[in-house]
Chain A
Amino acid sequence: MLESRSVEKPAAGVFRRKTLLLDLLAVAVPVVGFAFGINIFANELLLVYMMVYVALAHGINISYGFTGYLPFGYFGFFGAGAYGATLAILDLHVPALIGMLFGGVAGVLFGLLLLPLFRLRGAYFAIATLAAGEAIADIVANPSLQSVTNGPYGENLASVYSSGQIYVAALVFMALALLAVVLVKNSRFGLALRAIKESEYSAAMAGVNVVRMRSLAWVIAAAIAGVGGAIFGWATTVFYPSAVFDSAISVFAIVFALFGGTGSVWGPTLGTVLLYGLYSAVGLSSPQYFQLIYGLAIVVLVLFAPRGLVGFGRAAGRMISLRRAGANG
């Protein structure tokens, strides 16, 4: 019915090769950095935690940065992953590396359970996920479930501890999480998610299957948190429910993602490396100033770079190019 008059016009694609290459660079740089960083900085556990947080921040990136749903209860997936992997390793006797996948499955299952929360929006959604996270924490820590989860007494993975395997698993996991974000960002799926973030109604009117797309994004974010929790539990070796079902995990992942800038591949990685680095440095050297310095960093972010470091960088770049254009013209 609608026929083109076949006029020669630039067939502008949405997904550009240059952007994709830059995004792939944002995967390669941290992967290479962490792969060789262990030779420079010997605190292996800190680097493992940092890689886990990089991935978690990217999980938030997919759920919030692209789709617009802020899950305060993100720690629920994390804890579910830690316990899912532990139960698979200790009770089903699967190898620890395979156990990490069980962590991802546990995160996904918990994510699927929470899908009805998408009936809520904004702050209501965020708070409902927080309540769900707290609820699962209480269930896992319940003494009546001691035969399954060991209740409040936590779990012990010392029998399968292997620092080398844990480091490689964390590195591969972080790389896969980053690649997932690159794929999301440079695909029609990612474009659909951004449309949903703009307006669910308008997205539906553009033919986007809103329910399916946001559920898929949610499941990917849950899988990332699940595997992250599994690796965290494996690296920590002995952990209690309060350690893996800790709302601070959500807060850190959200702050790291926002600090770097959501909706990008560089942002959450930068935010995590800088803030987690600061957190570790100040927390170890001058713990008395930790809250002050951390709070100041967040205040500065909110005041001067509300779109994160990447957003600040983009705005500065635009301003410089405008000034140059003004000077030349």
Chain B
Amino acid sequence: MEPLALEINGVSSGYGRVQVLWDVSFTVNQGSVIVLLGANGAGKTTLLKVIVGLVKAWSGEVKAFGEDIGRLNTARRVRNGIAYMSEQGIFPGLSVRENLALGAGRASKAEVRERLSLVYDMFPELVERGKSLAGSLSGGQRKMVGISKCLMAKPKLLILDEPSSGLSPKFVAEVVEQLHTLRSFGITMVIAEQNVSFLETADSACVLEGGRINFSGGVDEFEGDEALHAAFFGLEGIQEV
């Protein structure tokens, strides 16, 4: 049995008195990629925020690499190897270089240099834009900065919230390709998406509907379930995948 990178057991959560997640459970193996699919308001972002500690779980358990992280604050979870890219993903008022430096956290200068080398290798465009304000970049470049910022933390578990949001189909394809590359590094990824293109890079999928897990299984299994597919993405969705 492969070691688990993430275990979500019976998590319920929400904001104030409004419950958003009901008894959500799933697991992610180390080095694998899972895509959380669901429509707007399904609870994808809330679930990701529970994993990184930005929203408290009302009940249930969140374990990362075998450790119960439920009581750790976000900064500690990040230091334990969990990186999170929100929809915005960057600090628009800071330069690209400053964004990347923030991602590196407490890393030594030598480590920062090594990680920058990796990031610049993946995203050569960022070399020239180092001094530019991240907010002045295009949507695609912002995503690059967001992903790079996460990579600077040398994550073991990378959590991405709607990496395709605001991007044209061409840029979405680029992001998917970049995630393929990251996969080759053995980084475990949890991707919340509405765009089925991301299934290309995933091992498994989870479908959230109204805060509950509606489907959890392998990508092949998901793609084979035409009724589920049609219910979420319509007939066009089936043809795209």
Contacts and interface: CB of A to CB of B under 8 A. Distances in A.
Interface of A: 1-14, 188, 191-192, 194-195, 197-199, 201-210
A191 B105 contact: no
Given A9-B121, A207-B105, A2 B151 contact: yes
Contacts of B118: 2-5, 7
Contact of A2 (B86, B94, B130, B155): B155
A4 B73 CA distance: 29
Contacts of B43: none
Interface of B: 52-54, 73-75, 78-79, 84, 86, 88-95, 97-98, 101-103, 105-106, 109, 112-118, 120-121, 127, 130, 149, 151, 153-156, 185-187
B100 to A, nearest CB: 8
B116 A11 contact: yes
A207 B98 CA distance: 14
Given A202-B88, A205-B84, A206-B149, A9 B117 contact: yes
A199 B102 contact: no
Contacts, number: 114
A2 to B, nearest CB: 5
A188 B107 CA distance: 11
A7 to B, nearest CB: 5
A201 B45 CA distance: 13
A69 B115 CA distance: 33
A195 B91 contact: yes
Nearest to B122: A5
Contacts of A201: 54, 86
Contact of A198 (B93, B117, B153, B185): B93
Given A11-B113, A12-B130, A206-B105, A198 B187 contact: no
A312 B88 CA distance: 28
Given A1-B187, A194-B94, A194-B98, A206 B116 contact: no
Contacts of A12: 97, 116, 127, 130
Contact of B52 (A2, A3, A6, A205): A205
A192 B130 CA distance: 18
A192 B78 CA distance: 14
19 contacts: A2-B187, A3-B185, A4-B115, A8-B117, A9-B117, A12-B127, A13-B97, A194-B91, A194-B98, A198-B93, A199-B91, A202-B86, A202-B90, A204-B78, A206-B91, A206-B103, A206-B105, A207-B102, A208-B75
Nearest to A9: B120
A78 B37 CA distance: 55
Given A7-B117, A9-B127, A191 B154 contact: no
B205 to A, nearest CB: 23
A210 B153 CA distance: 17
Contacts of A208: 75, 102
For the complex of A and B, list the 6 residue pairs with the smallest distance between their C-beta atoms, beginning with the closest. A207-B78, A9-B120, A11-B113, A204-B74, A4-B118, A14-B101
